[in-house]
Amino acid sequence: MPKSKRSEPLDHRKAEGIKMQQGGGSDTEVTWEDQQNINKFGRLNNRFHELEDEIKIAKETCDNLEDASNELILTDEEVVRFQIGEVFAHVQKDEVEGRIEEMKAVTSEKLENLKEEKESVLAEMAELKKILYGKFKDSINLEED
Amino acid sequence: MAASSSSTAADSSAMVTERRGIPGAQFVEDVQTYLTQSGLDVQSALAFFQERLQQYKVVEMKLLAQQRDLQAKIPDIEKCLEVVATLRAKKGTGEELIADFEVSEGIYSRARIEETDSVCLWLGANVMLEYSVEEATGLLQKNLENAKASLEVLITDLQFLRDQVTVTQVTIARVYNWDVHQRRIRQATATTAEDS
């Protein structure tokens, strides 16, 4: 007669923040709706990490553009070497200023949108956490480690 | 128990069974039913799911690599479009475009680009073709749209794949828990039988 296995938290999983734990042999059944909620949480979590990376890059771009326009103000050259594609074209300072302003506007709008999306993703994840913890309590772990 | 098994397959019909070569993970409504239906014992079932998980991982690696390639390609095409647009803007002004370009790492040289009606595009495989500025813009635009569309499809594939991975992982946990639960019950009944 095989000995009963000791309680061990199940580590098969690793769905980036989702862990089904051994609930002491408890029998909370997982329905298709639960599974869909779990899937959705996983997807949102992935998107959240992607957004964090994208936000970081957008912030850096914003900072660089800010530095560039500051440098422009300080310089007394009339012609600036402005990168277009892989080459540095000689462009009039005024035109460069205009271009940089435009790029700054585009990037900050992008940054705003990313931040908004991140907020909404976090809110949805919080909702799902309530639902899933509500049903499964200790049998599920939705935290980052 | 046997009667309910046929309806379980119909219940999972909300799921897609496969997508572009990626097998869908069948959702298990009830562990007991699944094991009886498939005729597998717990160990074999767990082994099967683990293997599926490995296969999914392999596909995921491949898709992620493709995604990285596309994500690098798109900014490249956008840069080309920008250059062509700049050349087109210079046309008619009578001005030359003076640019510093990289000859080798850290070494730059100056080029004077006169007004031109055509550009050469690198098509890959050691082939470069001359196009009019309008044609070049059109071609690059089309390439950009194709790349973006492929990326969309790829991202949806990855989402589908990740869902199947999650379903499989949850199923593994449930089968494992069910097994432990069963053993506990058997243990409990065995001890009560001994005591009586």
Give per-residue pLDDT as tens, A66-118. 999 999 999 888 999 999 988 999 999 999 999 999 999 999 999 999 999 99
Return the beta strands (E) in B39-126 as ranges: 97-104, 107-113, 118-124
Per-residue confidence band for A27, with pLDDT thresholds at 50, 70 and 90: low
The pLDDT, as a whole number, for residue B91 is 84
B74: burial class by Cβ within 10 Å (0-12, 13-18, 19+)?
A: middle
What is the average pLDDT score of chain B? Answer: 88
Q: Which of B86, B167, B183 lies at the smallest CB-CB distance from A84?
A: B86
Per-residue confidence band for B15, with pLDDT thresholds at 50, 70 and 90: low
Q: pLDDT, tens digit, for every residue of B119-167?
A: 999 988 999 999 999 999 999 999 999 999 999 999 999 999 999 999 9
Residue B8 has pLDDT above 80, yes or no: no
Nearest Cα of chain A lies from the Cα of B190 at a distance, in angstroms, of 9
Say if residues A72 and A100 touch (Cβ distance below 8 Å).
yes
Residue A2 has pLDDT above 50, yes or no: no
Judge: B184–A25 Cβ closer than 8 Å, yes or no: yes
A91 phi/psi in degrees, rounded to 5 = -125, 150
The pLDDT, as a whole number, for residue A17 is 57
Query: B94 by DSSP, 3-state: which?
Result: coil
Token pair belonging to A37: 């909620």
Q: Find residue A80's DSSP bridge partners.
A: A91
- How far is Cα B161 from Cα A26, in angstroms, rounded to an integer? 29
Token pair belonging to A47: 């998107």
Torsion of CA B161, B38, B171, A41, to 10 degrees: 40
- How far is Cα A40 from Cα A121, in angstroms, rounded to an integer? 11
Percent of chain B with pLDDT over 70: 92
Per-residue confidence band for A10, with pLDDT thresholds at 50, 70 and 90: very low
The pLDDT, as a whole number, for residue A119 is 97
Q: Which residue of B has its CA nearest to A14?
A: B169
Nearest Cα of chain B lies from the Cα of A28 at a distance, in angstroms, of 10
Torsion of CA B168, B174, B176, B181, to 10 degrees: -170
**Cβ neighbours of A42 in B, within 8 Å:** 162-163, 166
The answer for A 92-131 residues in CB contact with B (under 8 A) is: none
> Is pTM, for the whole model, over 0.90?
no
Residues 6+ apart with CB under 8 A from B41: B35
The pLDDT, as a whole number, for residue A22 is 54
Predicted ipTM of the assembly: 0.78
- How far is Cα A94 from Cα A103, in angstroms, rounded to an integer? 14
The answer for B 13-32 residues in CB contact with A (under 8 A) is: 14, 27, 29-30
